[in-house]
Amino acid sequence: MQGIFAASITPLKPDFSPDLDALPEYLGFLASRGCHGALILGTTGEGPSFSPEQRMAIYQSALEVRQVWPEFLLLAGTGTPSLDETQDLTRKVFELEFDGVVVLPPFYFRDSSEAGLYSWYASLLNQAVPQGRCLFAYHIPKVSGVPLSIDLIARLLDTFPDQFAGLKDSSGDPQFAQRLGDQFGDDLRVFTGNDRLFSLALARGASGCITALANLIAPDLRQLWDMYHTGQSTEAIQEKIDSVRDITERFPPFPPLIKFLLAHFFNYPNWTVCPPLTPISQETEKQVSSLLDLA
């Protein structure tokens, strides 16, 4: 469980329903561009916008990518504020033979105690994650409003060494990335969620990346990965990746931006996004397409 993972977008029809026929082909596109796998229904995939029934249909559709790419790894975003709903989704995902789950903390009660967060994750791990299967906590405090502390991560790893696999770190905090590597080393699988920190994270023992920009620049991320693991300098390719990140971060949020860029540069339909997100404006389209060249 390592390498380049795209935080995949979710193709949608004009009525905001999932385009289940389009998803497997799109995941094949990611595989063909060097991704080892994809996270289905993370932040970029608009996971919290879908009902449990829609999520299950999307998970099942994603599995079809393995008919052409049998080694393609699949992670599922299953986190919701409801412990029961999260447990149910997580059980079903493992029954579908997904390779792991990436789970947001319960994000409604943002002043929850660390003891409460531990109890929530411990219940999920006990009730829904079989021995030897992979659960990754999702640390994205700017979005979830619920940070995951080093102490909480250490406690979960100590209690559930065979199920609590690691962390998707989308904090964008280089000091936090360094602390993860310094404290846990190879005992914790860390996937950075910020392309700008990819080289730093790898140097601190990270297992790879799970990023929105892998939808667009997977070949560059894969090149960095391969160069790092063959002992070559990654400075130049990291600078190239940084420049794309610097531009795209000027036009948040990522889901509608990436869907537009996929249409503009790779001839995909300009898929819509679920409300409350809205497509980017024509003015933004002109600005970002004039600044980027992804062909």
* Residues labelled catalytic: 43, 108, 138, 168
State how far the alpha carbon of 10 is from the alpha carbons of 41, 128, 162, 182, 193, in Å: 7, 25, 31, 35, 18
d(C-alpha 63, C-alpha 214), whole Å: 19
Between CA 177 and CA 194 the distance in angstroms is 10
> In 3-state terms, what secondary structure has residue 73?
strand
CB-CB neighbours of 192 under 10 Å: 28
d(CA 270, CA 260): 6
Q: Residue 174 burial (CB < 10 Å; 0-12/13-18/19+)?
A: middle
SS3 state at 106: coil
d(CA 22, CA 26): 6
Strands 73-77 and 164-169: what pairing? unpaired
The strand pairing partners of 101, in sequence order, are: 76, 135
Could you identify the residue written with the tokens 């360094």? 178
Which residues are bridge partners to 39 per DSSP? 7, 75
What residue type is assigned to position 265 of the chain? F
